[in-house]
Amino acid sequence: MAMGFGVGFIVGLTSMGGATLMTPFLILVLGVRPHLAVGTDLVYASLTKSVGALIHWKQGLVDLRIARTMALGSLPAGVAGSLAVYAVGRLSPAADRYLRDSIGITLLAVTAALALRGRWHGRRPARWRSARRRDLATVAWGALIGAVVGFTSIGSGTLILPFLVWAYDVPAARLVGTDVFHAAILLTATGSVLAGLGGVQWDVLPWLLAGSLPGVTLGSRLAPRLPEKALRLVLMAVLLVSAWKLTQ
C-alpha cells in the first residue's frame, strides 16, 4: 500500500512513471514472477488510466480519430504481446531471465524518452505528403509500442506521446488527453487477456489501489508547487537503477 501511495504520488506530480515504477517494484521488492508482475501492473494501470481518460473525455480533450488510428495497430499487437509474455512465463522459472531483461531494456528506452522530453515538447509537427502516410505511420508506431506494452506493461504513455507531438499539429492538452484515452484502451485490452489467463497477482492489487488513489490526489495538488525538472531527474535515476538491477 505504501508503494501504491508512492507511485500514485509521483504520477500525480509528473503525470508519468506508473508502470515504469510499479513493475520493477513487484519483481525486485515483492518477488513476484515477471509475467505475473506484468499482468498485475496492466490491470492496475488500466483502472487508474481509465479514471484519467474519463476526465479528459468530459473536458473534450480526446481526439477520437487519432486514438482510433493508433489503436488499429496497438490493440492486436498488445494482445499478441500479452499472450507472448504469458507463454514465456509458463515455460519455466529460467525464462524469467529473458522477461527481466526485456523489462530492463524497456526502462532504459523510457528513461531516454524522459531525458529528451524537453526537446521534443516544443518542436513543430512533421510535414506529411498525405494524411494516409501519417495514418500508416501512426498504426505502425502503435503496433510497435502495443507489443512492448503487452510484453512488459511499460510505455503506454511515455513512448506514445512523443510520436503524437511529432506527427500531429494538435494542441498539447488535446494530445495528452488522447494519449491517456488510448492508453486506457490498450491497458484494458492487454490486462484483460492476462487476467483471463490467470496471469495476475490478485492479492496484491487491492493494496496497490488503496495506496495509489490518495497518493495521486495529493501529488496532483502539490504539482504546481514543485519543480518538474527536478522530479523528472529523480524519476530517471530510479528507472536507471531499476533497469540495472533487472538485468543483473
Beta carbons of 42 and 103 less than 8 angstroms apart: no
Residue 15 has pLDDT above 60, yes or no: no
User: Could you count the other beta carbons within 10 Å of the beta carbon of residue 210?
Assistant: 13
Determine the Cα–Cα distance for residues 223 and 225; give it in Å rounded to an integer. Answer: 5
Residue 70 has pLDDT above 90, yes or no: yes
What percentage of the chain carries pLDDT values higher than 70?
88
Residue 146 has pLDDT above 90, yes or no: yes
Helix (H) or strand (E) holding 227: none
Give the C-alpha distances (Å, rounded to integers) separating 143 from 4, 54, 83, 137, 178.
Answer: 29, 24, 15, 10, 17
Q: Which amino acid is at 118?
A: G
Burial class (CB in 10 A: 0-12, 13-18, 19+), 63: buried
The pTM score is: 0.85
State pLDDT tens for residues 161-217: 888 888 888 887 788 888 888 988 999 999 999 999 988 889 888 888 888 878 877
